[in-house]
Every structure is written in structure tokens, then in C-alpha cells.
Homo-oligomer: A and B are copies of this chain.
Amino acid sequence: MERGYLHSRFPALFFFLALLLTSPAISTKSVRGIQPCRSLVLFFHDIIYNGKNAANATSAIVAAPPWANRTILAPMMNFGDIVVFDDPVTLDNNLHSPPVGRAQGLYLYDSKTIFTAWLAFSLVLNSTDYKGTINLVGADPLMNLTRDISVVGGTGDFFMTRGIATLMTDAIEGVVYFRLRLDIKLYECY
């Protein structure tokens, strides 16, 4: 009896210990099919330079197709414009709320027939809640109500994370200001 009892425990226990010792994968990384391991909602605010707003502008056109210049967005859906940005990031939709970080990188417009953009940037967060960066890449078809881009990595509090950011245009004022809402869902957390 005792022998059966002991032997019965051994394989499972051994296996459990072996797993803990050799595959921290299971304990340190949580990948959950549907449920994100972490979620955050952020807003970022983009004020593009238009030749007159040097003091307030947070972004500027730095590259344009041969038929356009860098002060006015290009004809044909802004096709070919590359914009470098350093946009304040807030927890609500108020441009004047205390920023929790910056969104820094580039976006570009890449269709002559519909408004569509492509983004590659970092969220550089530095608040009491979040310290670290989240790196994002993806297509942003602006006319869709929601658009998904990829979280491809992170550092600090977001060490090695992956996930999806759902973008929504929260406001747009002429060609100078837009506000994006980011619903970030992280599915790989360490």
C-alpha cells in the first residue's frame, strides 16, 4: 500500500519539479488565447506643423513625393508624406491632461485613392503607473472605425510584451490636429 502510494506520487511530482526547473516558460510567460494579460487605454494628440504653428506643433512632414512639398500635406490622400512625431500621451481625451508619456516615431500615408496610413512608433511611458516602452508597427486604414496594429515588443514594465492595439480616431480638426485612442491588449506578458 505505502509503496503504491509513494510511487504514485513520484512521477507526477518529479515531472512537476522538472517542469519548474527546466521550463520557466510555463510559469513566467502567460499566453492566453482570448484574455489579455494586461490592458491599457491611452490617447495621443498630434498637431502637425503647417508653416504657422511652430510653437505648438508636435509633428512635421519630413519627406514628401516629388510632386509635393513638406509644409502642406500632399495631393492625392497625402500619399508619400512621412511625418515624424513626438506626441503627448494622456489617459483621457483631453490634450491638456498631464501627459503620462510620449508617442514617438513616424507615420506615413500610403495610398493615392483612400486615406490610409502606416505607423511605426514607440510609446515611451513614464508615470507612476507605467515605466517602460511599447513598440508598435502596423497599417492604419483611417476611414475604418477601428484599426488593429501589432505590439511587437516592449521594455521596462512591458519587457518583451506582444499584443494588439486597436486605434480609433477620437477627434480630428481640419488638417492640423487629430487625436487617436489606443486600446492596447497585451497577450504575452513576462
Contacts and interface: CB of A to CB of B under 8 A. Distances in A.
Interface in A1-40: 1, 3-5, 7-9, 11-13, 15-16, 19, 23-33
A121 B118 contact: yes
Given A60-B80, A70-B66, A133 B156 contact: no
Interface residues of A, number: 83
A48 to B, nearest CB: 11
Identical chains in the assembly: 3
A22 to B, nearest CB: 8
A44 interface: no
B150 A135 contact: yes
Nearest to A18: B16
A60 B70 contact: no
Interface string A116-128: 1010111010000
A43 interface: no
A124 B140 CA distance: 10
A108 to B, nearest CB: 5
A94 interface: no
Nearest to A66: B70
Contacts of A13: 11
A91 interface: no
